Chains A and B, each alone.
Chain A
């Protein structure tokens, strides 16, 4: 596209099918301890 460049390939709804394994880090456990920051967590689901 000439005017719009999409930065990321994945869309959130795709994770409905494979998500929810719960193996990822608890959000504020090991860095901040005062705020909830989820967007930077890594998915640990090997079957995604």
Chain B
């Protein structure tokens, strides 16, 4: 499968099954578009008024050479590996610890319903967290790198337990030949020097929630009890955090909604404020919510991604670039095909743990009793849930079969698929459409930087 597109004045060809990316001139673009449907003579006849014949024949030769090298018009050879893949024994290597089902903000789009996940307010005890880490170590097999994200609600509302769990993790990692990578997802309200110092010592990444421009952020992310502008409270702290981590290993992470489909301005606002690691992502919400992304928002959203990609490229070339998470793509050192077929690993390699020690396939399923898999005392009791997630892959999703982006999103988010279509193997289509645009933008940036 070959995907041709034009973006920001560049002609780009993606050979999906080899993941080869080619930058081509107009003639190359036209010839590749018809190469498999027509003979050389037919192609010459079709384009002889537009291009010289010898050039058409020359480009035809180049295309044929790339085809012979396995970089154009390659077949999907991976499907036979899937049976073995489905049989594999899976190991747990990442946990999302719901340290606090409570929050000091009341964000309007929160899938945790202001931190409570359809349940009651609760904080995770050290004992439950300790059992979760023990469970992770015991079920991680030979996997060495173990990720633990402190999540909520707002995890800094249970900060002492976070510290104790990090200390406990560090105390057991050597004897088990493990390397914990702790991360924190926070809204910044309680961030102070003591927390920052601890994070800079122990957390491999910090995700700092903020949506962008002050009016955009404060509209969707108000404080409880009208304690003033969230933006004003957190922005100075975030700048300090970013600098203290040398502009690495953090993200300012925002959500855009139907209300700010001009989110390019929010991304550039972060960049203009000096942030270099930026992630701004579409809200995931039921269509009936007024802030949900609608199909009719897509043309504007595509335009915004294109505008952002062009501006990011311009700034990178000028030496003042930044990273936009959804445009990051590693074309040469990226993940292997097994990872690309499998996706995020939710429900088998990645699990979420509630304050009570209940186990769910991922943080987005927490609160949906149908997906309650077990608990940290007994482990996974409902093994059929884990098995269903383990066998889910690119080939179990019909919508992915003819999608050029399938090896970049690996079939998309299982929670989004379930929440919109009632089936983890039936991807959320608005999400797919945005994903395809982002992949095109990311490839354009790579191609443009490589062409100079």
Interface residues, chain A, CB within 8 Å of chain B? 1-13, 15-16, 18-45, 48
Contacts and interface: CB of A to CB of B under 8 A. Distances in A.
A39 B439 contact: yes
A42 B93 contact: no
B411 interface: yes
B22 A31 contact: no
B332 A3 contact: no
Contacts of A11: 18-20, 70-71, 74
A39 B407 contact: yes
Given A31-B279, A32-B281, A42 B349 contact: no
B407 A35 contact: no
A32 B65 CA distance: 40
A4 B335 contact: no
Interface centre among A12, A20, A27, A43 (most CB of B within 10 A): A12
Contacts of A27: 343-345, 410
Interface of B: 13, 17-25, 27-28, 55, 58-59, 62-63, 65-66, 70-71, 74, 77-78, 81, 91, 93-94, 96, 111, 143-145, 147, 149, 151, 181, 183, 185, 204-205, 207, 251, 253, 255, 279, 281-284, 325-326, 328-340, 343-345, 349-350, 362-364, 407-414, 416, 431, 435, 439, 442, 446-447, 450-451
A48 to B, nearest CB: 8
3 A-B pairs with least C-beta separation: A19-B336, A39-B408, A15-B336
A31 B205 contact: yes
A33 B144 CA distance: 23
A3 B58 contact: yes
A37 B284 CA distance: 15
15 contacts: A3-B27, A7-B20, A8-B21, A13-B74, A19-B335, A21-B336, A24-B339, A29-B149, A30-B149, A34-B364, A38-B340, A39-B329, A40-B325, A40-B329, A41-B335
B71 to A, nearest CB: 6
A30 B91 contact: no
Contact of A30 (B59, B207, B349, B435): B207
A46 to B, nearest CB: 11
B147 A26 contact: yes
Nearest to A2: B58
A37 B438 CA distance: 10
A41 B339 contact: yes
B350 A29 contact: yes
Chain A interface, DSSP helix/strand/loop, else mixed? loop
B22 A6 contact: yes
B85 to A, nearest CB: 9
Contacts of A48: 336
Contact of B28 (A3, A9, A44): A3
A16 B81 CA distance: 9
Contacts of A12: 17-19, 337, 340, 407
A38 B340 CA distance: 7
Nearest to B277: A31
B81 A26 contact: no
Contacts of B207: 30-31, 33
Given A11-B70, A35-B431, A42 B333 contact: yes
A15 B363 CA distance: 30
A45 B413 contact: no
A24 B343 CA distance: 11
A6 B71 contact: yes
A15 B78 CA distance: 11
A33 B413 CA distance: 9
A30 B207 CA distance: 7
B343 A38 contact: yes
A27 B310 CA distance: 26
A8 B19 contact: yes
